[in-house]
């Protein structure tokens, strides 16, 4: 099976712009989680989706949003970008809520200038 | 105090040495994950455990639920084991479950 894919892999944006990142989970996996990794804060949980429903959300401002489609693909959006949003954004998929092994994608490295 | 604490933060070893990385947590958990991150960012899940011990090749992970402590051991370490090792715990809240991560342990194995 193909692994988790994320697009784009690298992205440079300007403050105030918005960005959409995409994650395609492993075939058959219904749960997708998103994480932000920065040098200062480490890895932090953003959201978790299961069957198109957001199951949980981390402590991030409302500028961070996401969704999941019927084919389990997920997108996250960050509006009004700030310099502090520069980070590696990782998504992970798992088979379902009862099976929580996390399979991580390669990440999208976002740089905000 | 962070909910998940790892030690040491940095570890340098010689090839062949036995390595232990520790993780302590302060919340009730349903599972604990050990992750490996290589330069460039890719993360690989090494273990997910909720009790006892698991072994995969030269890697062994143990967890003591009563003491809220887990260890990752690497036997006969090799330079290719050089990476950041991250402990993460899955805890349940009224809003759902989430992973909370430790700060990671940077391991360097010299030949």
CA atoms of B74 and B81, how far apart (whole Å): 9
Chain A contact residues (CB < 8 Å to B): 33, 35, 37, 42-45, 48, 55-58, 88, 90, 92, 100-104, 106-107, 109
| Token pair recorded at residue A44 | 């932090």
CA atoms of A58 and A43, how far apart (whole Å): 11
What residues are paired with B25 via a beta bridge?
Answer: B4
Of B45, B100, B104, the CB nearest to A102: B45
| Token pair recorded at residue A57 | 């959300």
Lowest mean pLDDT among A11-25, A41-55, B3-17: A41-55
B103, B18 Cβ separation under 8 angstroms: no
pLDDT at A105: 96
| Token pair recorded at residue B103 | 């700060």
Stated length of chain A: 113
Q: What percentage of chain B exceeds 70 in pLDDT?
A: 97
pLDDT at B74: 98
Secondary structure class of A18 (helix, strand, coil)? coil
pLDDT > 60? residue B53? yes
Contacts of A45 in chain B (CB under 8 A): 98-100
Q: What is the mean pLDDT of residues A15-31?
A: 96
Least CA distance to B88: which residue of chain A? A43
A35, A10 Cβ separation under 8 angstroms: no
Mutate which: A29, A86, A94, A100, vs B, most B CBs within 10 A: A100
The pLDDT tens digits of the residues spanning A79-107 come to 999 999 999 999 999 987 656 788 999 99
At B32, which helix (H) or strand (E)? Answer: strand B31-37
| Token pair recorded at residue A92 | 């992970």
Burial profile B24-40: b = 16 or more Cβ within 10 angstroms, e = fewer? bbeeebebbbbbbbeee
What residues are paired with A67 via a beta bridge?
Answer: A75
- Alpha-carbon distances, residue A97 vs A55, A100, B39, B53, B100 (angstroms): 10, 6, 30, 23, 17
pLDDT at B1: 65
Least CA distance to A43: which residue of chain B? B101
């Amino acid at each position: 099976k193909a692994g988790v894919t994320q697009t784009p892999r690298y992205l440079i944006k300007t403050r105030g712009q918005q960005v959409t990142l995409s994650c395609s989970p492993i075939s058959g996996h219904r749960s997708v989680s998103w994480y932000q990794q920065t040098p200062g804060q480490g890895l932090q949980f953003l959201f978790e989706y299961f069957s198109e429903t957001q199951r949980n959300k981390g402590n991030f401002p409302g500028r961070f949003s996401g969704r999941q489609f019927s084919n389990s693909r997920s997108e996250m959006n960050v509006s009004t970008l700030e310099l502090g949003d520069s980070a590696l954004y990782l998504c992970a998929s798992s088979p379902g809520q009862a099976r929580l092994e996390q399979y991580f994608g390669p990440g999208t490295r976002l740089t905000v200038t | 105090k962070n909910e998940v604490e790892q030690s040491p933060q940095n570890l340098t070893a010689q090839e062949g040495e036995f390595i232990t990385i520790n993780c302590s947590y302060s919340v009730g958990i349903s599972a604990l994950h050990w992750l490996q991150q290589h330069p460039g960012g890719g993360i690989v899940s090494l273990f997910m455990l909720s009790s006892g011990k698991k072994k995969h090749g030269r890697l062994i992970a143990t967890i003591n639920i009563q003491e809220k402590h887990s260890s990752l051991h690497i036997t006969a370490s090799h330079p290719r084991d050089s990476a950041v090792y991250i402990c993460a715990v899955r805890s349940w809240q009224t809003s759902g479950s989430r992973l909370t991560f430790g700060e990671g342990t940077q391991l360097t194995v010299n030949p």
